[in-house]
Every structure is written in C-alpha cells, then in structure tokens.
Structure 1
Amino acid sequence: DSGLCAASLLGASAEIKFTIPVGRLFTYELLRETFQSDFEPLYKLYAGRLYDDPMTFKCNQQNFPDLPEWLRFTQRHPYDNGFLYGTPTSPGKSTIEIYATNKRNYETARHILMIQVVAEKTLPYQAEFFIELREIEMVLPSSVQGEIKQDLQKLWYSEALEIVNISNALDRGGRVPLPLAGHFEGVYVKVGSEQYFSPCLQMVLTPEHQRLCASETKVKVPGGCSFCSIPSNCITWCKTELVSSRPTPPPPTVGSGILEDGGDFDPLESPPSRDLLPDYIVTVIVPLIVAVVLCLLLAYIMFFRREGVYAFISNLYIFLYHHHTILGNTDELRQMSGSRGVAPPLSTLPMFNSRTGDGGPPLQSDSPSIPLIMAQHDPYSDTLPR
C-alpha cells in the first residue's frame, strides 16, 4: 500500500463530481480507457493486432481505508471495467479516491470522485425482484438497466419507475455457483414508484401464490403477466417482495351518483349508560374473597394442626425414662465393681483337681494349647469323674 501511495503521487489526478438523491441507485463505471492517458501507450502493435494491458482498481474514501457503508466496488477481471454502485441512505458528501494500477509496468494513476448526496422523498411503493440468470457486472451498465426497467414498466403498468437498488445474491447469503456455463450468481433489483402495484404484482400477496411457493412448486408466470422480452431478464416469482410505506388504497364504493332528497340530518342517539357494578363485583370482589378464605385456611393448617409438636411432647417422657434407667444401671455397675475383694470361685482358677479341689502350680508357659482344666487319674476308678 505504501508503494501504491508513493506511485500515485507521480500520476495525474482528475476530479469528477456527482450529485445524487437519497434512495436512488448510483452507478459509476470505471472505464479503463479513461486512465490510458495517465500511462504510457497501453496498446502495443503485435502481429498486426492491438493488445491492451491489464489494469486493476482500488477505491477508498479519502482519509479512510475503505469505502462508505452504502457504496460497493466490483471488478471481475483485470481486463474488465470496474463499477462503483450503491444506494445512499442519508444526505452528505463523500470523497472517493480511485487508484488505477497498470499490471504491465505497475504505474499508478489517481482520480478523485466527489459524490454529493441530497435529500429527496422516498418512493412509497417498492418491489424487489430476483433475476436468476444475471450477475452483478452484467446489470450495472446503463444499457442493461434500461432493458430491465422497460420490462418492469410493462409489469407495473406504469412508466414512472426508478431503480432503487441492485445487489449481488452472494451479499444476501446466496451460494457460489459452479464455474460452468449456464450457472449465475443472481441479482436482486429493487424498483420504486408513486403508483400502486399492478394486479400482476398483487397476485404475489395471494394465499394461493404463497402456498405454492411454500410447497417448493415451480410457480409459472401468472396469466397475462409475461413481460420479459429477454429471457435472461425474467424474474423468479417466489422471491418477489412488495414493500409499501402507505396504506393500501380502499376500493371505490359504487353508487348511483345522486344524493337522496330527504329531511334534516338526524344524528344517532347516545348509547344508554351501563351499570358497571356487577362487572366490578365479579372481577374484583369475588377473587378477593376467595384469596382471603384460602389465606385463613392455610393459617389454620400451619398453626393449629401441627401434630408433630404434640407427638414430640408425648415421646419426651419416654426419652426421660430411658435416660433415668441408663443412670440407674450405671450406678449398679459401679457398686458391683466395689466388691471385687471376694475370693473368686475355684472354677475360675487356672488349674484345679475336681476331686480334692487342690490347685496346681501356675504354669510358666502362656501356650494356648495347655488346657485350663486338668483331671487326675483315679486308680480305683476306671472312668474320669464328671
């Protein structure tokens, strides 16, 4: 970019001024021939034929890196002309810098475009059409716009039409077509008029038309509404939208055209007064009484029917009795522990004789295999005592 700006200082600068109204389509074609005088001769004689050099354009608002919000630029190929187009939405002044770069020797030329936007009344009735077999560069030339406008005038039954906007279908969320012959991006064309929509256009608002479009049925041209003299200018009816900033004019009332000869004007009597007390009682008093009754019932249930509190009080005595018995048992165990000085019974000795009651010496071993009770053999008895 810095090299581009430096080179532009060497080229000549030309100023072009335009005055356009708000809400109207602005189109400016960047002709490559107009920049030829700023470069070396672009035409070279080779084998008896003339060849021109490729050229690219870069446009931006002065002191800004990009164009204004309402203005767009397009150039499909370096050998094609460029187009600045758009519809201003508010009055003001814009200064556009146009840089043309010769792709053969990279010389640069600079032109200034002054656009003055003035306020103007918006057209009340507008319609947007989708042309499927067109691309944005194909409809921006003034000759093609004139052909489309003539066809739409036949459809609108009015010559007072103005093209309001032209936009690419890709900018509206459309898909990129296949790079094959017969596949186009599509273009939206919006026109406006002071005259109301024609009967052909009003058929777009009928429920039958909307039902056919919702069922994805291919809607043919309604009877008597064929208007496109060039097949590539035919519109897609299911994508046609009508916009009106004024109310729909009512249909005229058909009468005899002769005023009746009668007496004096007798205005209608005022309607009788209406008693609003029953409505007030049903709407306000009755719901209020029901709300008070429900609040009282809820208070009774919450404060006077608390069965859990009485159940806790009745079980409290059982809890106290259990606590008292635990204390008594604890005291009894303490008293029993105080009488441990009594000689233990013989059966609790480590070893004893079941007949004589004599205890044996304590064993020094702690082996668990030695029995705690040992019986001595009686020579006068064949069996052991029990």
Structure 2
Amino acid sequence: MAGQRLIASCFLAGLLFSRGLAFSLPVLNLYAVVGEIFVHEFEIDDFKDAFPSSMDENEPPEAPVTFHTNLLDYPDLPRWLRYIQRTPYQTGYLYGSPTSKELGKQTIEVKAYNRYTYETARQTMIITVAPSSDGEMPYQADFLVKNWDVDEVLPADIQDLFLQAVDSMWEQDGLTVVNITSALDRGGRVPLPIENRKEGVFIKVGSKEPFNECLTKVMSPANRNRCKLQQQPALTCYDTFSPRFQIDWCNLTLIDLTNIYTTEAVTIYGDGVLEEGSEFNPPDDAPDREFFSDFLLTFLLPFLLALLLALLLAYIMCCRREGVQKRDQKTSE
C-alpha cells in the first residue's frame, strides 16, 4: 500500500514538473530594414498548441495569454524596439524603426504565459537588420492621428490605408512608413475613458520627393497663428484623411534631411596613465578660519530662543493663575 502511494506521488510530481516546464518553439528568423517600420504580431493561437494543457478538454477555448520580450541575456528590449499588448485576449505587437547603428543580428527571447494554467512557452527570434536598398528617405512628414491608438495602426492593412490617404495629398509615389510612435511616448496625456477617446499616435511617412504646396502651406506663419488661437490651419487641398483619420494639423512636422548637416563627435580614449607632473597637488598654505561665530549662530541662538519660550510658558502657567479664592469672590451667591 505504501509503495503504491509512493508511485502515485512520484507520478503526480513528475506530471506537475512537466507542466511547469517551458516548451520551446522553433527559432523564427525575421528581417528589418533601416529607416522603415518593423512590425511582428504575436498571435495567441500560435502559442496555444505549445502549452501541455492544450489537449485538456477542461481548458477554456479562449485562455488569456500574455507575452514578455527581451534581448537575449539582457533584461529589456533594444532601444529601437517596443512591445504592446492591450489585454491578455488580444494580439501582441513588437514594433520599431531601426537605425544604421542597429545593423546586424539581434536575438530576441519571447516568453508566453498562459494565465489560466500558468504554463509557459518560449520562442527565440533572430532579427536581421539590413540597410535599405533605396537609401534614407530625405523628406519625412510626421502626422498626429488623434482618433487611433498605436496598436490599432500597426496591422499592415491599416498602414496601407493611411499611405493611400497620404499619397492622395502628397501626390508622391514610393511612400514608406518610417516610424510609428504612441502619443504617450511623446508627452501626451492618458485620455479619459469616455466618448471612446484614443491616446493618439504619431505616424512618420518618408519620401524621396520634396513636399508639395499643400503640405508646406500648413506650416505657413498664418496657419501657425491660427494654431496659437487653438484653431485648425486652413488647408489649400482636400483633406483625404477625414473622416477615417483625424489629423491634428497643428502638430504636423515636416523634416527635410537634405538641409541637416550633423557631425558626430568622436571620443578619443587615452591610456589611463597621468603624465608626469600632472597629478593633483593640494595647497599647503590654506588660511586659517575661525568657526566660533558659526557655532554661536548654529547652537546658541536656538538655545536662547527655546529658553525664552520656556520662561514665557512657565510665567503663564504659574504666575497668571487666579486661584480658587479669587474665583469665589467674583462668583455671586
């Protein structure tokens, strides 16, 4: 009987241990291009089959799953990557725009957590950042979309709709989404949970052709004055964004990289050894200084003030008492 209990306990412990281990999915190879938005979706259904309890009939069909992403052997993601997932029942997004400093391969570790069974699954992603074949987009326009959240514009079909609206106004071919940033990351406020308000999202679009007259007129001094009066600028062309995308034209930014010349400072490191005669020599003839006046000001003045208050309190408590006899004389019979 004791042997059967021991075998059952070992079997149960092994079962719990196997359920607690993280199942590893195959390595995923992804590619990102410098100067273009990179988006990867974490579908919950892709990780559900990796959990050992996926064959359990008692598990709900829509179990909540959350994700945690980090650079391999580091606690956080690279600087150019961000991750967002609104609820454990929605798709998670890994997105960002790499620069020329991120060229090469970066290994990202993804952990999926089943919030119903507390099981985990792991996947390794290798992101290869390559330079753009078309080069850097010298003309970039940064739009603030007020009625969308960042996770809502990350899908490819929504980005295509936005590019179509930009193409109709900019009248240029070969437009590219350079970057997508939440308005909260740019100093925006969290909206109140009323009237279906959104956080807002900045979408930066790049092109090789200069800005047309419609976009440059938005940045005119007259329209800047209208923005100071909290009025929207007057557009000289048809607003192809409305009503699907509500653009805050006062926050439009036009970037012309052809007129920006920056030189990166180069740090020159020495050998770490001081030259002869360059060590610090403290002065030997420092003048003497008396601190007696500072002592009196720091200790004696508060002491005298406390003594004065104590004497005043003693006088009020001991010398100003009327007594019972004086009280009875003033009290009528």
Band the TM-score falls in, shorter-chain normalisation:
0.5 to 0.7
Q: Residue 111 in 1 paired to residue 123 in 2?
A: yes
Residues 247 and 9 of structure 1: CA distance in aligned 2, closer, same or farther (over 3 Å): same
Q: Output the CA distance in 2 between the equivalents of 1:43 and 1:240.
A: 53
Q: What is the CA distance between 1:232 and its match in structure 2?
A: 3.4
Partner of 1:163: 177
Partner of 1:235: 247
Q: Output the CA distance in 1 between the equivalents of 2:218 and 2:224.
A: 7
Residues 88 and 52 of structure 1: CA distance in aligned 2, closer, same or farther (over 3 Å): same
- Aligned with 1:208 (options 210, 219, 222): 222
Q: Output the CA distance in 1 between the equivalents of 2:147 and 2:193.
A: 14
Amino acid at match of 1:192: G
Q: 3-state SS of the aligned residue for 1:23?
A: coil
Q: Report which of the two structures shows the higher radius of gyration computed on alpha carbons.
A: 1
Partner of 2:292: none
Q: Residue 218 in 1 paired to residue 232 in 2?
A: yes
- Aligned with 2:98 (options 81, 88, 92): 88
Q: Residue 101 in 1 paired to residue 104 in 2?
A: no
Q: Output the CA distance in 2 between the equivalents of 1:171 and 1:8.
A: 36
Residues 201 and 157 of structure 1: CA distance in aligned 2, closer, same or farther (over 3 Å): same
Partner of 1:139: 153
Q: What does residue range 48-67 of structure 1 map to in structure 2 within 5 Å?
A: 51-67=61-77
Q: 3-state SS of the aligned residue for 2:45?
A: helix
Unaligned runs of 5+ in 2: 1-17, 261-333
Q: Output the CA distance in 1 between the equivalents of 2:206 and 2:213.
A: 16
Q: Output the CA distance in 1 between the equivalents of 2:143 and 2:19.
A: 43
Deviation digits for residues 111-166 of structure 1, max 9, x if unmatched? 11111111232110000000000001111111111111111111110131000000
Residues 35 and 79 of structure 1: CA distance in aligned 2, closer, same or farther (over 3 Å): same
Q: What is the CA distance between 1:8 and its match in structure 2?
A: 7.8
Q: Output the CA distance in 2 between the equivalents of 1:170 and 1:209.
A: 25
8 A Cα contact 1:11 1:109, kept in partner: yes
Deviation digits for residues 278-300 of structure 1, max 9, x if unmatched? xxxxxxxxxxxxxxxxxxxxxxx
Q: Output the CA distance in 1 between the equivalents of 2:55 and 2:195.
A: 31
Q: What is the CA distance between 1:225 and its match in structure 2?
A: 2.7
Unaligned runs of 5+ in 1: 1-5, 249-386
Q: What is the CA distance between 1:44 and its match in structure 2?
A: 5.8
Q: What is the CA distance between 1:109 and its match in structure 2?
A: 0.5
Q: What is the CA distance between 1:42 and its match in structure 2?
A: 7.7
TM-score in terms of structure 2 length: 0.67
Q: Output the CA distance in 1 between the equivalents of 2:208 and 2:20.
A: 46
8 A Cα contact 1:73 1:84, kept in partner: yes
Q: 3-state SS of the aligned residue for 2:174?
A: coil
Partner of 1:41: 54
Residues 42 and 141 of structure 1: CA distance in aligned 2, closer, same or farther (over 3 Å): farther
Q: 3-state SS of the aligned residue for 1:176?
A: coil
Residues 36 and 216 of structure 1: CA distance in aligned 2, closer, same or farther (over 3 Å): same
8 A Cα contact 2:169 2:237, kept in partner: no
Q: Output the CA distance in 1 between the equivalents of 2:40 and 2:229.
A: 41
Q: 3-state SS of the aligned residue for 2:137?
A: coil
Q: Output the CA distance in 2 between the equivalents of 1:22 and 1:226.
A: 30
8 A Cα contact 1:8 1:109, kept in partner: no
Q: What is the CA distance between 1:9 and its match in structure 2?
A: 5.0
Amino acid at match of 2:238: C
Q: 3-state SS of the aligned residue for 1:210?
A: helix
Q: 3-state SS of the aligned residue for 2:26?
A: strand
8 A Cα contact 1:45 1:51, kept in partner: no
8 A Cα contact 2:29 2:127, kept in partner: yes
Q: Residue 183 in 1 paired to residue 197 in 2?
A: yes
Q: What does residue range 1-386 of structure 1 map to in structure 2 within 5 Å?
A: 10-39=22-51, 40-41=53-54, 51-89=61-99, 90=101, 91-120=103-132, 121-220=135-234, 222-228=235-241, 231-247=243-259
8 A Cα contact 1:93 1:115, kept in partner: yes
Q: How many residues align?
A: 238
Q: What is the CA distance between 1:224 and its match in structure 2?
A: 2.4
Percentage identity across paired residues of the two chains: 37
Amino acid at match of 2:64: P
Deviation digits for residues 175-196 of structure 1, max 9, x if unmatched? 1100123211000000000111
Q: What is the CA distance between 1:45 and its match in structure 2?
A: 8.1
8 A Cα contact 2:232 2:249, kept in partner: no
TM-score in terms of structure 1 length: 0.58
Q: Output the CA distance in 2 between the equivalents of 1:67 and 1:240.
A: 29
Q: What is the CA distance between 1:7 and its match in structure 2?
A: 7.6
